[in-house]
Amino acid sequence: MASRSEAKARAFAKDNDAHVYYDSYQALAKDPKVDIVYVATPHVFHAEHTLLCLKQNKAVLCEKPIAMNVFQFKTMQEAAKSNNCFLMEGLWTNFMPHLQKVHELIQQNTYGHCLKMEADFSFKAEFDPYKRLFNKNLGGGALLDIGIYPVYLALKLLGLPQDIEASCEYSSTGVDASNQIEFKYANGASAQLSSSFLKTTASQAKVYFEEAVVEFGSRFHETDKFTIKTDTGTQSFDYNYPANGYQFEIEHVHRCLHRGLVQSPEMSLEASYQLISTLDEIRHKMGLQYKEDKPYKE
């Protein structure tokens, strides 16, 4: 663990039973004994802190969103390539058993084509213009913080949309306090996606197939339960795993490093590219720009 403050790093290390800590991110990146760094600073620092580590030949697991925009992402991707280092976006929900199972059912075309999806992730956040969620200088806003989960669910299960519509309500700090997004697909399928800091909802997701409806429990991104309803009845799945679910992502990263991979086969840099490009396009439709953005290209 590393912090910009020695006292904070020491206290955090003590609380978490760690024997080693660093009083700067630079010191962490330089330590030859470190194999991999988990970058969990606010979004606007993901590119800077990932590059710091990659340049010291460290593998990096970077929190979501991997970057503020596609321009930053490309720099990170190039640095990973030129240093031959592992880089993966920490989109932990990708490794959850419920999502893996539904993805598998789609690959096997078990219930016919996917016709429609609905996914929402919302909670009432305390308004503080200085803290990360509403602070534009720290990359605040619902889309990049929690809207990324419904967006990723649609990309994972339905693929890249042909067309995107999006709108949002702005907070007084100039970030999206809530948003509504529609993905339209060439085959007629659609996805209704939303996220908000203004109200707490059940944060559920439903996927409608030709022959079944898959319903994820609340909250859909972290649930261990889902049901499949067909004409003949309802099948319930309950994975009932211990801890909060981060273990699936952590185990996957360990396996990648043991195999000497520089990319995850399950959360590839191409998947991250598609995700960040889609988020860029949604922001363009909502009219939301950050200081890190360059002019948007259609």
Ligand X SMILES: NC(=O)c1ccc[n+]([C@@H]2O[C@H](COP(=O)([O-])OP(=O)(O)OC[C@H]3O[C@@H](n4cnc5c(N)ncnc54)[C@H](OP(=O)(O)O)[C@@H]3O)[C@@H](O)[C@H]2O)c1
In the complex, the residues that contact ligand X under the rule CB under 6 A are 3-5, 8, 40-43, 45, 63-64, 90, 92, 132, 145
Give the nearest distance from C-beta 145 to ligand X in angstroms. 6
**Burial group, residue 62, by CB count within 10 angstroms (0-12, 13-18, 19+):** buried
CB of 294 vs ligand X, minimal distance in Å: 21
Q: Minimal distance in Å, beta carbon 226 to ligand X?
A: 19
Q: Identify which of residues 92 and 197 has a Cβ nearer to ligand X in the complex.
A: 92
Pick from 105, 62, 49: which is nearest to 272 by CA?
62
- Nearest distance from C-beta of residue 90 to ligand X, angstroms: 6
Q: Please, which residue, 212 or 256, has the CB nearer to ligand X?
A: 256
Closer residue to ligand X, CB minimum distance, 134 or 183? 134
Report the candidate in 80, 97, 103, 107 with the shortest Cα–Cα distance to residue 256.
80
Task: Give whichever of 39 and 158 is closer to ligand X, judged by the CB atom.
Answer: 39
Give min distance, CB of 295 to ligand X, in A.
24
Q: Token pair for residue 7?
A: 């006292």
Q: How far is the CB of 208 from ligand X (least distance, A)?
A: 27
What Rg, from alpha-carbon coordinates, does the chain have?
20
The residue number whose beta carbon is nearest to ligand X equals: 3
Minimum CB separation of residue 155 from ligand X in Å reads: 17
Name the residue nearer to ligand X (CB basis): 41 or 180. Answer: 41
Q: Which is nearer to ligand X, 91 or 114 (CB)?
A: 91
Token couple for 112: 């016919």
Mutual angle of helices 269-286 and 70-82, in 10-degree steps: 160
CB of 3 to ligand X, least distance (A): 3
For residue 145, give the nearest of 22, 252, 44 by alpha carbon: 44
Alpha carbon dihedral 151, 200, 196, 95, in 10-degree steps, equals -20
63 versus 118: smaller Cβ distance to ligand X = 63
DSSP 10: H
Closest CB to ligand X among residues 38, 208: 38
Return all residues near 233 (Cβ < 8 A) that are at least 6 apart: none
What 3-state class would DSSP assign to 49?
helix
Peptide bond into 129 cis (omega under 30): no
Q: Cα–Cα distances in Å, from 119 out to 101, 220, 284?
A: 17, 8, 21
Instruction: Please check whether residue 26 is in contact with residue 52, taking contact to mean a CB–CB distance below 8 angstroms.
Output: yes
Residue 281 belongs to what H/E stretch?
A: helix 269-286
